[in-house]
Amino acid sequence: MATTNTGSGSSATLATRLKQVYADGITSIIPNSTELMKRLKFRKELELGKEAVFDVQLSHEHGFTVGQGELTLNAAVAQIAANAKVDGYQVILRSRVSYDLISRAKTSKTAFARFNDSKFIPMVESFQKRQEIYAIYGRDGLGKVLSNTSGALVITVDTWAPSLWLGTEGLILEAFDAKTATANQHNGDLTVSSIAISTRTVTVTGTNSSVVANDHLYYKGDRTTTAHNAPVGLMTIARNTGMLYNISATTYALWAANAYDAGTSGLTLAKVLAAAAMSADKGCDEKLTCLAPVSCFQSLVSDQAALRKYDASYSKAKVENGAESIIFYGATGAIEIVPYMYMKQGEAVLFPERFTYLIGSSEMVNQVGPGGDIVFDLESTSAKEMRLFAEWTVFCERPGWITYITRSDAGVL
């Protein structure tokens, strides 16, 4: 059911923003990152009308003949090519505000912010976070259930990402028994009531008795029992073993990403190099970006620091150590390891950033068409509704250059 932001009454949601004295800006304590969306450029020159079509060469010509003297030539064997068909998916955010709240917020002298001030409702931050999570985990789900005790859903350690869940109180989830396009849904709306980081527990209200171990959690509406509605995310491309963008990864090895097993211990620089070598085996000679869980990155920094040698620049007065990212070189060239707050703890991914981007008709906007601001009066209630809109999907021209990293024991990297 749609809910409206109100400024008065026992259920007021924005009343606290109407006091007269405030510091500058809303203090947001919710973790937010747009690291991946910043790296995945929106290909404006490919802005969609219907769909983008890429002619992909999947094999070489094979009509060779060798030998000496007069030769009988072998038959021509043509290359295999296929069209990758890429279409965008809409992402829309709705927010409602009552007339009395708009009236009280019409000046900044007595209210926290004017109605048309972007600070009034944190729509942009909310939209950016949802886009970021779709960019990495679109169609892949938010986490896998380990157990359910009266709505207290414990998430498996390898699919747990703390920052992904913070600030999700009130979020509506749905549970399915598989990630595939065809799956069974277990119960209906699951509304998040609380998050316990230390125990990896997402507590939900609503009918949840059918949610069981190995169910996968999705945002409400992201999928049905027969189809996915969300954009394709990077990890979905990395895990794909079937048909994606009209080409089969089962049939064509170059359309399938690689899977690297880190064994039963954490990720090291040596293992990252070994994973990158799998991309190199498919012809990758390009810089690779490695998104790693935050906790895993800390150990990789220590690993790198152990290899460091101090030169003439060393000063006993000040020694700096640590890193925002790690760049070193392997079989493919440069490899940049980046700590990524939304990466699940049991996996990491290497991908060719230059060949991975967003395709669609629109980045995040608050209007559709010339002068089409998406702010309007609701027909039957005393409120206005505002919307944000985008349409895109993640596409990689060379998925065979992606390597997906996990542990064989489903532990933490």
Q: Please give, one letter per residue, the 3-state secondary structure of 242-282.
A: CEECCEECCCCHHHCCEEEECCCCCCCHHHHHHHHHHHHHC
Q: Is 138 left (phi over 0), alpha (psi -120 to 50) or beta?
A: beta
- Is the distance from CB of 356 to CB of 309 less than 8 angstroms? no
Rounded to 5 degrees, what are φ and ψ at 298? Answer: -60, -40
User: What is the model's pLDDT at position 60?
Assistant: 86
Q: Which letter, b or e, does each residue of 49-69 get, where b requires 16 or more Cβ atoms within 10 Å of its Cβ?
A: eeebebebebeeeeeeeeeee
- Which two structure tokens, joined as six digits, stand for 137? 């985990």
Find where tokens 């219907």 sit: 50
Contacts of 252 (CB under 8 A, 6+ apart): 58, 59, 80, 82
- Is the distance from CB of 129 to CB of 31 less than 8 angstroms? no
Rounded to 5 degrees, what are φ and ψ at 189? Answer: -65, 130
- Is the distance from CB of 137 to CB of 342 less than 8 angstroms? yes
User: What is the model's pLDDT at position 388?
Assistant: 87
Determine which helix (DSSP H) or strand (DSSP E) holds 103, and give its type and residue range. helix 99-104
User: What is the model's pLDDT at position 181?
Assistant: 92
Of the candidates 249, 225, 228, 229, the one whose C-alpha atom is nearest the C-alpha of residue 239 is 249
- Reduce the DSSP state of residue 289 to 3 states and report it: strand
CA 257 from chain center: how many Å?
17
Contacts of 29 (CB under 8 A, 6+ apart): none
Q: In a structure prediction context, what are the per-residue pLDDT tens digits for the chain, which is 413 residues long?
A: 677 776 666 556 665 555 444 444 555 566 667 899 999 999 877 766 678 888 888 888 899 989 989 999 999 988 888 989 998 999 999 888 888 877 776 655 544 445 555 555 678 888 999 999 999 999 999 999 999 999 999 999 999 999 999 999 999 999 999 999 999 999 999 999 999 999 999 999 999 999 999 999 999 999 999 999 999 999 999 999 999 999 999 999 999 999 999 999 999 999 999 999 999 999 999 999 999 999 888 888 776 654 544 445 545 444 344 456 788 888 899 999 999 999 999 999 999 999 999 999 888 888 787 666 778 888 899 998 888 899 999 999 999 999 999 999 999 99
Give the start-to-end residue ranges of the domains of the chain.
140-229
> What one-letter code names the amino acid at 95?
S
User: What is the model's pLDDT at position 384?
Assistant: 84
Of the candidates 138, 52, 83, 134, the one whose C-alpha atom is nearest the C-alpha of residue 248 is 83
Contacts of 66 (CB under 8 A, 6+ apart): none
User: What is the model's pLDDT at position 365?
Assistant: 84
User: What is the model's pLDDT at position 321?
Assistant: 47
Find where tokens 């064994």 sit: 263
- Reduce the DSSP state of residue 46 to 3 states and report it: helix
User: What is the model's pLDDT at position 101?
Assistant: 78
Query: How far apart (Å, rounded) are the C-alpha atoms in residues 384 and 367?
Result: 15
Cα Rg, the chain, nearest whole Å? 25
pTM of this prediction? Answer: 0.86
186 burial class (0-12, 13-18, 19+ CB within 10 angstroms)? buried
- Is the distance from CB of 263 to CB of 407 less than 8 angstroms? yes
Q: Which residues pair with 52 in a beta bridge?
A: 86
